[in-house]
């Protein structure tokens, strides 16, 4: 038996063919055609799967199912209920549309949740069943796994930890229109915000004063011992640790798995988050471990396949 | 078939006999004997159940099981793993001990979680399956139900929302030794803290300046139109709304069910929490409803019975 894992992004759709042992047999991408409300995206996905089946000599009865991750709020029935602005989609049922082309089981969920499931299945969270995946990218995303299952939430917005209110004194608006969200400090753009504010505060010397300021240059400077960069990393760590302590008091996970572009800084990033987490966490929740995500951009296709292959 | 619901508290153990239709046929209490590490508590429970069975002519094969709620962190196997200081208990397995006296299935969980399940089964959360129960008593407790099941957490501390860090500028310690926990403002004692600080700030007239200050007198004064009391209620609402907005971003519930002694103030309490919640919540999570708990002190025995009778 085989499963397909499909990770729909704003630019490309990543796809993977898996066997039942979680081995990825093939992976490839197709462009995400967003014109006309993204009406071609799911038909394109179905056609790509049918073409791959023909190429590999796989018949429908050999396919256990297709798992799909998509950027937006997806409910338990696989209906995109909102938030898929990056695809041009309104409300639509993902399994229903794919079933017009191919008659195998289809399951869909939010892309961040699916990536979390992937990390639990074959990545940084392997061996755990209560996990919070934290994606530090352009924004801060999250995916929560409880007892091995995605916590989808009432409106598909479970695990949206980037929008926990964390700072009462913020004056700039978050993308969500509120002020003081975790995402405003712990994302790649958030780190740049913290860096620019710190650099503007005084004239303390820093390598960050020349050249581009990014999450990467900040953590590179931290590794080089730049004192200003260390202060920025401490601020970042304090905000993220405070936010994750709140998450821990709610779902009491075994492990936090930190991924996304910012996490490429590596273990040094965790060294700023863990002490802050301990500062704020309710002690019975303080045993939570911190791991780095390991699947990178493949977390989505792994997690999508896990929707089908895992339990 | 019958089920027993057992709610172990620091002073009394509340017990209920239920039929399969969730009707409570009998309820009674026994004292909680805490001496010698609370070693008599579970044997007392078993004996009380056996006596009730004899009284009612019920044999073991007619008993579907015994559900138990206990104050502390209880893991999925029913082991009290810690925090049961009010009972004198260390680590012990609740089903194992009860099985020494009576051979029927036993399930145990934290008392706040069990009360949450009770409210979902037969109380303010009836008809919902994704729910957060909030208990505003001496402290602030919580219980989270996802897909009809208790979110226990890795160490039995799921739903401990009273210890979400919510205020960076607190100088007093919470019971948990951290500073700025939700519990420090939204519990009965927290409301008294807010009231005393407000009264000390200036000489504004208030009925609260004479007589005892308690959560009840504050909300009574709010109902009487006392301006200072209204300001205290707004502060309380702001803290609780902010905390519950964080919870909503994590688990995206359909409903919050507010119980505990403070909730006796009634709907007026919700009128201070809901606007603050909307101020802070991530909009896809903003549809969560607010209800008052309806089972009062019986939530524990109902929820304990639900551990056995529900799914």
Residues A183-213 pLDDT 10s: 999 999 999 999 999 999 999 999 999 989 9
Can you give the pLDDT at residue B311?
63
Regarding whether B218 and B172 lie in a shared domain, the answer is: yes
Regarding whether A132 and A114 lie in a shared domain, the answer is: no
Kindly tell me if the per-residue pLDDT of A169 is higher than 90. Answer: yes
The closest of A203, A112, A121 to B250, measured between CA atoms, is A112
Kindly tell me if the per-residue pLDDT of A82 is higher than 80. Answer: no
What residues of A are in the B interface, CB distance below 8 Å?
73, 82-83, 130, 142, 144, 146, 151-161, 163-165, 168, 176-178, 181, 242, 245-247, 249-254, 279-280, 282-285, 287-288
| Tens digit of each residue's pLDDT (9 = 90 or more) over B110-162 | 998 999 999 999 999 999 999 999 999 988 999 999 999 999 999 888 999 99
User: Mean per-residue pLDDT for A97-115?
Assistant: 95
Q: Across chain A, which distance is largest between two alpha carbons, in Å?
A: 67
Regarding whether A149 and A102 lie in a shared domain, the answer is: no
The closest of B263, B270, B239, B69 to B162, measured between CA atoms, is B239
User: Mean per-residue pLDDT for A12-20?
Assistant: 97
Can you give the pLDDT at residue A154?
92
Regarding whether A147 and A116 lie in a shared domain, the answer is: no
How far, in Å, CA of B186 to CA of B233, rounded? 10
Measured in degrees and rounded to the nearest 5, phi and psi for residue A251 equal: -110, -5
| Tens digit of each residue's pLDDT (9 = 90 or more) over B36-73 | 999 999 999 999 999 999 999 999 999 999 999 998 88
Regarding whether B114 and B130 lie in a shared domain, the answer is: no
Residue A12 confidence class, pLDDT cut points 50, 70, 90: very high
The closest of A188, A135, A189 to A162, measured between CA atoms, is A135
Contact A158 B254 (CB under 8 A): no
Q: Tell me the DSSP string of B220-232.
A: HHHHTT-HHHHHH
| Tens digit of each residue's pLDDT (9 = 90 or more) over B256-286 | 999 999 999 999 999 999 999 999 999 989 9
Regarding whether B186 and B160 lie in a shared domain, the answer is: yes
Kindly tell me if the per-residue pLDDT of B214 is higher than 90. Answer: yes
Rounded to a whole number of angstroms, the distance from the CA of B190 to the nearest CA of chain A is 18
State the residue for tokens 């006596």.
B51
User: Which residue on chain B is closest to A132 by alpha carbon?
Assistant: B250
Residue A39 structure tokens: 């009406």
Regarding whether A69 and A173 lie in a shared domain, the answer is: no
State whether residue A53 is helix, strand or coil. helix
Model pTM score: 0.92
Best to test chain B binding among A179, A250, A275, A289 (most B CBs inside 10 Å): A250
Residue B202 structure tokens: 């200036």
Regarding whether B283 and B136 lie in a shared domain, the answer is: yes
Residue A75 confidence class, pLDDT cut points 50, 70, 90: confident
Regarding whether A107 and A140 lie in a shared domain, the answer is: no
Total structural domains within chain A:
2
Residue B77 with chain A: CB contacts under 8 Å = none
Residue A311 confidence class, pLDDT cut points 50, 70, 90: low
Assembly ipTM: 0.91
Regarding whether A199 and A104 lie in a shared domain, the answer is: no
> Is the CB of residue A153 less than 8 Å from the CB of residue A145?
no
Regarding whether B278 and B219 lie in a shared domain, the answer is: yes
How far CA B132 is from CA of B137, B150, B257, B262, in Å, comes to 16, 10, 6, 17
Can you give the pLDDT at residue B10?
87
Rounded to a whole number of angstroms, the distance from the CA of A146 to the nearest CA of chain B is 8
User: Which residue on chain B is closest to A251 by alpha carbon?
Assistant: B158
State the residue for tokens 């009998």.
B26
How far CA B184 is from CA of B67, B176, B180, in Å, comes to 31, 10, 7
State whether residue A97 is helix, strand or coil. helix
| Tens digit of each residue's pLDDT (9 = 90 or more) over A222-269 | 999 999 999 999 999 999 999 999 999 999 999 999 999 999 999 999
Domain span holding position A257: 128-294
Kindly tell me if the per-residue pLDDT of A88 is higher than 90. Answer: no
Kindly tell me if the per-residue pLDDT of A47 is higher than 80. Answer: yes
Measured in degrees and rounded to the nearest 5, phi and psi for residue B287 equal: -85, -5
Residue B72 with chain A: CB contacts under 8 Å = none
Can you give the pLDDT at residue A232?
98
Contact B251 A161 (CB under 8 A): no
Residue B83 structure tokens: 């925090």
Can you give the pLDDT at residue A140?
93
The closest of A239, A274, A259 to A167, measured between CA atoms, is A239
State whether residue A290 is helix, strand or coil. strand
Regarding whether B105 and B64 lie in a shared domain, the answer is: yes
> Is the CB of residue A116 less than 8 Å from the CB of residue A142?
yes
Residue A168 with chain B: CB contacts under 8 Å = 168
CATH of the domain at A79: 3.30.420.40
Can you give the pLDDT at residue B88?
85
How far CA B15 is from CA of A16, A72, B193, in Å, comes to 54, 46, 34
């Amino acid at each position: 038996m085989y499963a397909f894992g499909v990770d729909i992004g704003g630019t490309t759709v990543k796809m993977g063919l898996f066997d039942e042992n979680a081995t990825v047999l093939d992976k490839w991408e197709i462009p995400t055609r967003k014109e006309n409300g993204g009406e071609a995206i799911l038909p394109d996905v179905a056609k790509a799967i049918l073409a791959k089946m023909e190429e590999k000599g796989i018949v429908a009865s050999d396919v256990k199912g297709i798992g799909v991750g998509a950027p937006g709020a997806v409910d338990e029935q696989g209906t995109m209920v909102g938030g898929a602005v990056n695809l041009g989609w309104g409300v639509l049922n993902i399994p229903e549309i794919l079933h017009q082309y191919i008659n195998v089981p289809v399951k869909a969920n939010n892309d961040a949740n699916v990536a979390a499931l992937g990390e639990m299945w074959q990545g940084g969270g392997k061996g755990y069943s209560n996990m919070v995946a934290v994606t530090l990218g352009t924004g801060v995303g999250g995916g929560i796994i409880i007892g091995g299952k995605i916590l989808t939430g009432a409106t598909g917005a479970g695990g949206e930890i980037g929008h926990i209110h964390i700072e009462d004194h913020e004056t700039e608006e978050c993308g969500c229109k509120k002020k003081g969200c975790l995402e405003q400090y712990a994302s790649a753009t958030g780190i740049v915000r913290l860096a620019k504010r710190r650099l503007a505060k005084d004239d303390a010397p820093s390598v960050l004063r020349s050249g581009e300021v990014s999450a990467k240059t900040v953590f590179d400077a931290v590794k080089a011992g730049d004192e200003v960069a260390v202060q920025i990393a401490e601020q970042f760590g304090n905000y993220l640790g405070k936010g994750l302590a709140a998450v821990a008091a709610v779902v009491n996970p075994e492990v936090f798995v930190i991924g996304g572009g910012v996490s490429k800084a590596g273990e040094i990033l965790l060294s700023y988050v863990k002490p802050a987490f301990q500062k704020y966490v309710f002690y019975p929740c303080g045993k939570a471990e911190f791991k780095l995500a390991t699947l990178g951009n493949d977390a989505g296709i792994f997690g999508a396949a896990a929707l089908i292959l895992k339990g």
